[in-house]
Amino acid sequence: NFRGDHSPYIISKIAAENFVEYYNKDFGIEGVILRLTGIRGYGELLGHLKSDGKYKKSAFEIFVEKAINGEDIEVWGDVSIKRDHLYIKDLLSLFESIINTDGKAGIYNAASGIGYSLLEEAENIASVFQVNQKSKVFVNPNKQGLKKGYVYDIQETKEASNWEPKYDNLNVTRL
């Protein structure tokens, strides 16, 4: 579905992958494409700019602010939906492994291979960022939350690069 303000981004990603695959096949270049999931790390910008230029905070920013202030944290929607994130140090070690592995070309998933729900993440954030009083976390299934999740298969990535993620996404907030 190539509609909306995200479509030029998606089309450009597909075009870039096609170029790299073409050069791999026709010229024997060992081009590697890493399909990155959401990356977690120091100083990350979690929210995003809307088409009107206004900044919209992510759920994580809101959860952290509420946890620091001891306020209730409300998680919306279907809490069975899980998403896969990768810690920045794991991504950098994957870059290093791919660069130092000869004879590998193709498309690989750069992810942790493990998904967590917003509820699991909110409960973790409430524990980690508690100052005086721990925030109460509750679910409101009637408000629209995540529409879909994603957990990537990273077996091919691990085999091609002799790489393995070392950090658990729930525990990186404790680092």
Per residue in 4-47, pLDDT tens?
A: 666 788 889 899 999 999 999 999 999 999 999 988 876 655 67
- Tell me how far apart the alpha carbons of residues 10 and 8 are, in angstroms, rounded to a whole number: 6
- Tell me how far apart the alpha carbons of residues 172 and 4 are, in angstroms, rounded to a whole number: 33
Residue 111: closest CA among 12, 28, 16, 37 = 37
Contacts of 44 (CB under 8 A, 6+ apart): 88
For residue 32, list its beta bridge partners: 106
The amino acid sitting at 91 is: L
Q: What pLDDT does residue 109 have?
A: 96
Q: Which of 5-19, 68-82, 89-103, 144-158 comes out lowest in average pLDDT?
A: 5-19
Other CB atoms within 10 A of residue 160 CB: 17
The amino acid sitting at 127 is: S
In this prediction the pTM is 0.82
For residue 39, list its beta bridge partners: 86
Other CB atoms within 10 A of residue 116 CB: 19
Q: What is the mean pLDDT of residues 134-148?
A: 92
How many residues in the chain?
175
Residue 152: closest CA among 95, 93, 86 = 86
Other CB atoms within 10 A of residue 136 CB: 12
Q: What is the mean pLDDT of residues 130-144?
A: 93
Phi, psi of 89 (to 5 degrees): -65, -35
Q: What pLDDT does residue 117 have?
A: 94
∠ Cα 39 41 42 (to 5°): 150
- Helices within the chain (DSSP H only): 7-27, 59-69, 88-99, 118-128, 155-161
